[in-house]
Structure 1
Amino acid sequence: MPNTSYDALIIGSGQAGNPLATALAKAGRKVVLVEENKLGGSCINYGCSPVKAMLASAERAHQLRTADDYGLGRQEPAVDMAAVIARKDVIIGEMRKGVRSNLTKETAGITVLHGHAAFSSPRTVQVELENGKIQELKAKKVFINTGTRAAIPDIDGLEGLPYLSTTQLLDLKELPEHLVILGGGYIGLEFSQLYRRLGSKVTIVEAAAQLLEREDDDVCQALTEVLTQEGVDVVLGAKVRKVSHHDGTFTLTADTRSGERRLRGSHLLVATGRTPNTDTLGLETAGVELDEKGYIRVNERLETNVRGVYALGDVHGGPQFTHISYDDYRVVRDGLLHRKWRSAKQRPLPYCVFTEPQLGRIGLNEEQAKEEGIAYRVATMPVSTIGRARETGRTAGFWKVLVGPDDRLLGATVLCAEGGEIMSMFQLMMAGKLKYQQLQNMVLAHPCWAEGLNNVFAKLDKPK
C-alpha cells in the first residue's frame, strides 16, 4: 500500500476546502484534497446555486401570471420542468468545471483524489479510491470540510418510502402535482414558493407554532401571509406521527391543536434540518471530539482537540451558510500563512432567505436583544412607503432596525425585494460604526431602494 506525505490534507471539496487548497499550494505547500462526491461542495451541487437558478425560472413564471397588473395581459406559463432542470444543470456544470480547473490546472502543487477518506491515526488517512484500491496519506495538518446531509426524522412508516431530499428534488424532471414539504425552515420556504409558482399545489407542514422560529413574530407572520396569498397551504403546530404511501399518494397523519389531520400529496420533501457527515470518517480513531449532535468541536481558530486537525464549514456546527464556510477558510489562511489569527466565534452573521420578497438579516433582532438584555430603540417601515416599491409593484414586506443608546445600529431585518442587497448596506453601516443620523442625511440616488435608508430611522422608539 503506497504511502504519501503532504503538508496539508483536505477532506472535502467545499467552500472552505477549495480556496484553502489553492492558498496553501500558492504558498509552496504540498496539498492533497480528497472528495468522495462531486467537486464544489453543497453550495454548488445541491444548495445555493441550483436552488437560486430554479427560483429564477419560478420568478419568470410568476411575472407572466401577474403581467395583467402591469397592463400586459395575464398569461399562464407552459412550464417545461425538464428544461428548468436542464438550465440549472448547465449553470452548475460550468461552476463545477471552474472548481476542477482551479484545483487541477490553474494551481500547481495540488493533488485531487476521488474516494472515501477515514482516519487511521490523528494525521494519517486511508482513502478508498473509486477503483477500490486503498491509498494511505500522511499530512502535517488535516482539514475536515465534509459538510452535512439531510436529517431524516424518526417518524413511523417513513423509512423505506420514496420521499425526496432536497438533492433529489433538484433533479426531478416532472412537476409534482401536490408537493408536501415537511419542515418550515429556510429551505422549506424557498422550495414552497418555487414549486407553487411553477404550478404545483404545495403544503408546508411544520411542528412549531410558526415558520422560521428563530425570527421575530412579525417577520414570521408576514412571510406566512406572503406564501398563503400565493396559494401555499401552511399547516403549523402539526406533529407528524405517521407517514404512508399508497397508489402514488403520500399520507401524513399529524396531531394538531384542532385534532388529528391527514395531509395528502403526490410528492413528499423532507426538509427538517441537516446532520453532519462525521460518522464514517474514523474520527474516534483519531481522537477527534464531537458534540451531542455529531458536529466536530473546534476552538476559535477552528482547530479540534487534536493538534493540527481542523474542521471547516458546516461540519463544525453553528450557522450553516456558504459565506461563513468561506470565512472559515480566511480565518485559517490568515492564521497559518500570515500569523494573523482572529476568532471564528466572533464575526458578523449576515444571511438572506431567497423567497420573494427576500428576508435579509444582520445583527440582532428584537427577540435576541431582549434575551441578551441589550437596550435598544426600534423603527419599522413598510416597504410600500418606498417610491421604488410602488413603481415596480413590489410593495410586500417591511424594514426593521434596532439602534443602541450610542445611535449606532445593532441589527436590521429587511423583508423586501432585493432584501439581501439592502441588508448588506446596513452591514456596511455597522462595520463602519456609523451613527444612524449619517444615513438619514446622506444624499442617495432617486428612485433607488436605498432611499429607504433616509427614512427608516424616522420613528425610532422604545420597544413595546
Structure 2
Amino acid sequence: MADESYDVMVIGTSQGGRFLPIDLAKAGRKVALVERGHLGGVCVNSGCTPTKTMVASARAAHQARRGAEYGVRTGPVSVDLAAVRERKRAMVAGARENYASRLPQDGLDLIEGEARFTGPKTVEIALPDGGTREIGAPVIVIDTGTRPRQLTISGAQSVPVLDSTSIMELGELPEHLIILGGGYIGLEFGQMFRRFGSEVTIVQTGPRLLMREDDDVSDEVATLLRDEGITVLTSATPERVEEAGGGRMRLTVRTPDGERRVEGSHLLSAIGRVPNTEALTPVAAGIRLSDNGFIEVDEYLETSVPGVYAMGDVKGGPAFTHLSFDDYRILRTNLLGQGKASTRDRIVPYTVFIDPQLGRVGMTERQAAEQNRSVRVAKLPMSAVIRALETGETRGFMKAVIDADTQQILGAAVLGTEGGEIMTIIQVAMLGELPYPAMANAVFTHPLLAEGLNTLFMSLDAQ
C-alpha cells in the first residue's frame, strides 16, 4: 500500500499533461502532478517555443540579405548568436511562467521529483532533497515524453556532440556545422544556422531527405536547401568521427561511391528521439512496451494495465505537440465526461518549419498507391500564385491527392510560403468532407495565398 493516496496521478507536464491535471482538479478530483524537470515538457523548454523563436531570427537575417530584391538598401548582415540565444531564453522563461501561473488549483499537488513504478498503481518519487514519497492512485496518466537519441558511432564519445537542446545554447556561430539526420529537426537547424552564417553539411543515411514524403517533395526540399548553400549528402552512412586538430573534427561516411570525409567545427546529432521510460520502470507495473521502449496504448490511450494511460510522445507514433493536446482532449472526455473519444481515424497534420514551410496532411501519393487507391493528383507551382509573385516568395509547390471515385481530398503537401497555414485550409475541407470542386469554386480573397487553392483544384478539370 502507498503512503499517500490520490484520485489521479499525472507523471510529466507536456502539452497534454499540463492541462489535464488542472481540469481534473477543477472537477473535484484529488490530483498529484509529478515533474522531474521544468514545467511544460519538450515543447516549451526545448522544442517548439525555442526552436521557432530561433527560426524567426534566421528568417529575419535571410530577408535582410534579400533587401536589394525589393529595392531596399541594407548594409552587411551579421548575426549575434548570443543575442539570438537570449531572445530564445526569454521566450522560454515567459512560457514557463505562463504555465506556472495557471497551476495553483485546489485539489492539485505539484510534486517535484523522479517517479518510478513500484506496482500497477503505486509510484515512488525520488525528491530533489534526497528523500522519497510513495503515492498511489487508481488512475495514472504517463506523459514523460522523449529525449534525443545518443550518437553511438565510433569516436562519438571522444568529440563534442550537440543535440537539439544543447545546440540552442551556443553563444558563437559554428564555422562549419555537420548535421547527422535529414528529418525535420536536422533540416530546421541546418537552414537556421546557414542563415546565421555557418557553413552547413547535412548527412542523411537514407536516399532522400524527409523519407516520409513523396519523392517530388523531398527532391524539392533538397534543391531549396542546396540553393541556400547547404551541402546535402544522401545515402551516406556515418561510420566514425575523430578529432582533426585545430578544434575541428572529421566525420567519415560510407556512400555508394566509397568512403567520404567531411571536416567541420561542430557536430549535431539529429538521428531521432527515444522515450523517457527507463527511469519510470513501467515493467514493475506490468505496462507493456514496444520493441523501441515506447508505451503501448489502445485507441483510448489505455495501456496494458487498466486505469493506466499514456499520452504524448512517450506512446510512440508521430511526435507532434498538437497530437499531445488532442490526447489530452481524449482523456479529458473519457475521464470526466464518461465518453468514448478515441484516436481512431484522426487526421494528423504537421508542418516542417523550414523556409518556405512544408505543410502536410493526410495521405501521400505514395501511400495511396500502396493502398491501391484510384487517385488523381493536382499540382501547382507557387510561381503561379499571384500573392507569392508579389511577395517574391515563389519557391515550392502545392500538391493534393484526390480519390478519383468520391472526389474527396485524401491528403495534401504545401511547400511554399506559409505552407502550414495553407495546408490547414485543406485540412478543414477534409474534416468537413468537402469534395474537391468545393475548393475549386470557393470565393477566396484576392490576392491571398489561399487563392492559389482555386487554381490548384481547378487544374483537375483540365486533366
TM-score by length of 1: 0.97
Identity of aligned residues (%): 48
What amino acid is aligned across from residue 277 of structure 2 in structure 1? T
Q: Which residue matches 2:310?
A: 311
Q: Is structure 2 residue 62 aligned with structure 1 residue 88?
A: no
State the match for 2:343 in structure 1: 344
Q: Equivalences for 1:28-39 in 2 at 5 Å? A: 28-39=28-39
Residue 443 of structure 1 deviates from its aligned partner by 1.4
Offset from partner CA, 1:150-201 (integer Å, 9 cap, x none): 1124311112431101110111111111110000100000000100001011
- Contact 1:377-1:462 within 8 A present in 2 as well: no
Kept in 2, the 8 Å contact 1:377–1:461? The answer is no
| Aligned mate of 1:127, from 108, 111, 125 | 125
1:147-226 equivalences under 5 Å are 147-226=145-224
Q: Which stretch has the larger CA shift, 320-329 or 400-409?
A: 400-409
Partners of 1:462 and 1:92 lie apart in 2 by: 49
**Counterpart in 1 of 2:27?**
27
Superposed, 1:102-141 pairs within 5 Å as 102-104=102-104, 107-141=105-139
Structure 1 position 3 matched with structure 2 position 22: no
- 1:36-435 equivalence runs, <5 A: 36-104=36-104, 107-247=105-245, 248-404=247-403, 405-435=405-435
- CA distance 1:296–1:30, shift in 2 (3 Å): same
- Paired with 1:207 and 1:155, the residues of 2 have a C-alpha distance of 13
CA distance in 1, matches of 2:54, 2:400: 31
Q: Does the 8 Å CA contact 1:64/1:76 hold for their aligned counterparts?
A: no
CA contact (8 A) 1:181 1:188 kept: yes
- Residues 462 and 21 (structure 1), Cα distance of their counterparts in 2 relative to 1, 3 Å cut: farther
Counterpart-to-counterpart distance in 1, 2:420 and 2:53? 16
Segments of 4+ moved more than 3 angstroms: none
Q: Take 1:179 and 1:441, find their aligned partners in 2: how far apart are those partners? A: 47
8 Å contact kept, 2:437–2:458? no
Q: Alpha-carbon deviation of 1:244?
A: 1.1
Contact (CA 8 Å) 2:2, 2:122: kept in 1 or not? Answer: no
Q: Which moved further from structure 2: 159-168 or 196-205?
A: 159-168
Conserved? CA contact 1:378–1:461, under 8 Å: no
- Judge conservation of contact 1:239–1:256 (CA < 8 Å) in 2: yes
CA contact (8 A) 2:122 2:136 kept: yes
Question: How many Å separate the matches in 2 of 1:438 and 1:461?
Answer: 13
Gaps of 5+ in 1: none
Letter in 1 for 2:12: G
- Structure 1 counterpart of 2:73, which letter? G
Distance 1:73 1:210 in 2: 38
CA distance in 1, matches of 2:151, 2:80: 32
Asked if structure 2 preserves the Cα contact closer than 8 Å seen for 1:212 and 1:220, the reply is yes
* Whole-Å separation in 1 of the counterparts to 2:51 and 2:408: 35
Which residue identity is paired with 1:446?
A: H
- The answer to whether the Cα contact below 8 Å between 1:396 and 1:416 also exists between their aligned partners in 2 is yes
Once the two structures are TM-superposed, the CA of residue 245 in structure 1 deviates from its matched residue by 2.3
* Deviation at residue 12 of structure 1 after TM alignment: 0.6
User: Judging changes above 3 Å, is the alpha-carbon distance between structure 1 residues 462 and 109 closer, same or farther for their aligned structure 2 residues?
Assistant: farther
Q: SS of 1:79's equivalent? A: coil
1:58-104 C-alpha deviation (Å, 9 max, x unpaired) = 01100111101111124332311111010111111010011111112
Instruction: Determine the C-alpha separation between the residues in 1 that align with 2:399 and 2:75.
Output: 35
C-alpha separation in 2, matches of 1:240 and 1:443: 51
| CA offsets 1:401-446 (integer angstroms, 9 cap, x no match) | 1111211211111001000100000011011111211222221111
Asked whether the 8 Å contact 2:244–2:263 carries over to 1, the reply is no
8 Å CA contact 2:159, 2:249 repeated in 1: no
Q: Distance in 1 between matches of 2:418 and 2:291?
A: 38
SS for the counterpart of 2:5 is strand
Which TM-score applies when normalising by structure 2? 0.97
Q: Structure 1 CA distance, aligned partners of 2:462 and 2:154?
A: 48
Deviations 1:236-274 (A, max 9, x none): 111111111243112111111221101111000000001
Q: Secondary structure at the match of 1:9?
A: strand
Partner SS state of residue 142, structure 1: strand
Partner of 2:452: 452
Displacement of 1:4 after TM fit?
1.6
2-side partners of 1:23 and 1:172: how far apart? 38
Whole-Å separation in 2 of the counterparts to 1:320 and 1:357: 21
CA positional deviation for 1:451: 0.5
Structure 2 distance, partners of 1:146, 1:245, is: 35
- Greater shift, 351-360 or 401-410, is seen at 401-410
Mapped to 2, the partners of 1:50 and 1:462 lie a distance apart of: 45
8 Å Cα contact 2:176/2:266 also seen in 1? yes
* Structure 2 runs not aligned, ≥5 long: none
**Letter paired with 1:38:** H
- Does the CA contact (< 8 Å) of 1:146 and 1:277 recur in 2? yes
CA distance in 2, matches of 1:278, 1:75: 51
Count of residues in correspondence between the two structures: 461
**Amino acid of the structure 1 residue aligned with 2:288:** E
1:460 counterpart SS class: helix
Alignment-derived partner of residue 443 in structure 2: 443
Aligned counterparts of 2:117 and 2:461: Cα–Cα separation in 1: 56
- Kindly provide the amino acid, as one letter, of the partner of residue 118 in structure 1: R
What is the DSSP-based 3-state SS (H/G/I as helix, E as strand, rest coil) of the residue aligned with 2:179? strand
How far off its partner does 1:282 sit?
1.5
Which secondary structure state, in structure 2, belongs to the residue aligned with residue 446 of structure 1?
A: coil
